[in-house]
Amino acid sequence: MGSGKRSLTTTAMALACACACACAVLAAPGVAYASPDPTPTSAPTTTPDLSLPPASTPTTASGRELEAVRTKLDTLYHEASVATDAYNAAEEQARQQSAQIVGLAQEIVKGQEKLDDLRDLAGAAAREQYRGGGLPPEARLWLSDDPQEFLDGAGRVRQGEHAATGLLAEMTRTQQDLEQYAKDASAQWTELESHRKAEADAKKKIKQRISAAKKLESKLEKKEKERLAQLEEEAAYQAQAAWLNSGFAPTSDGKASAQGKEAVAYATAQMGKPYEWGAEGPKSYDCSGLTSQAWASAGGGIPRTSQEQWKQLTRVDVRDMRPGDLIIYFADASHVAMYIGDGAVVHAPRPGRTVTIAGAGSMPILGVVRPDA
């Protein structure tokens, strides 16, 4: 991208929550990129004080106090995002465990049917042997009217004995298989219960954090809420401007793959739909629900959560980003957005917001992954 674009970077991408701002980002010149090994801002790990700071007046909060509120809200929503990733991971694992248990149950049913059939065959063989009597072969030879017929029958008896031996071995193997299936099913059930507990714990934490954030916001006057929104936009703008001017700028975006273009088209078509934790569309999304569904629509299955996307997908240098790549944010990989080019991303931000376009550098970047590398 040309130097003309770079000259406007300081006025570009004040994007938070408005299409007009989104257009400013897309038109903004000069894509600069973060360091190939950026050092992310550490995510807060302690539960913040949820009370509002004492106001300087009985009815309104000062700018400093509102900034403290903004920081607390960021912390609460970040913790909700971390819990959402944990919930999604536990839900996915529980779904896989359930499928495995169903598969094992089907194997147990088939194994039991096979064992019943083998027992029937073994019973028939035993009855046949009983009918043959307990006389030794020499006695039966002397008593036989036709020695050749006896010899032929003796051959069949030997074959039957071999068959019975094989039948018993098969019964033993089938019984062992059934016992192993039962052990595996029991282990899978224990895992399932563990994942269901983790899912329930994460769900509880999400609701607590979102409830605390809403309670905090509800204490603000209308003008304070407007000013708070302005502070959020300013913080996003400053982070984006710093990223754009960080000195790591390729001459142009990488060329998107065909799948990448499809994924971007899907993600941007969801703009305006609400954020909802645990949602994968089509009416609402959380951050990784949006990216995973966008790539699924393009024929590329990727992990469900932002943390697994970071772990499993191919990492690329931030300088080499191309549309369709996923940017992972925060040290704990708790947020993900899709790069759409010109320094912008589309993402599902947090509860109370909708799928929107934002500056790619408006949050601390952990790294970039490419689903179709």
State how far the Cα of 304 lies from the Cα of 280, in Å rounded to an integer. Answer: 9
Angle formed by the axes of helices 147-218 and 63-131, to 10°? 170
Residue 162 designated active-site: no
Which entry of 21, 78, 195, 347 is annotated as an active-site residue?
A: 347
Please state the separation of Cα 210 from the chain's center in Å.
21
Tokens of 135: 């006389």
Amino acid (1-letter code) at residue 64: R
Residue 335 designated active-site: yes
> Sheet harboring 344-347: ordered strands across?
314-316, 365-370, 326-329, 335-341, 344-347, 356-359
- What DSSP string runs through 141-172? HHH-S-HHHHHHHHHHHHHHHHHHHHHHHHHH
Tokens of 19: 């299409």
- Confirm if 115 and 178 have CB atoms less than 8 A apart: yes
Residue 347 designated active-site: yes
Amino acid (1-letter code) at residue 306: S
Residue 299: name the closest of 371, 240, 194, 193 by CA. 371
Tokens of 268: 């941007």
- Report H helices in the chain: 3-6, 19-27, 63-131, 137-143, 147-218, 222-244, 258-269, 287-297, 306-312
Which entry of 21, 78, 195, 287 is annotated as an active-site residue?
A: 287
Residues 6+ apart with CB under 8 A from 180: none
Residue 353: name the closest of 248, 273, 261 by CA. 273
Burial of 148 (0-12, 13-18, 19+ CB in 10 A): exposed
What is the phi/psi pair of residue 51, to 5°? -80, 150
Tokens of 218: 């509800």
Which entry of 21, 78, 195, 335 is annotated as an active-site residue?
A: 335
> Residues with catalytic annotation?
287, 335, 347
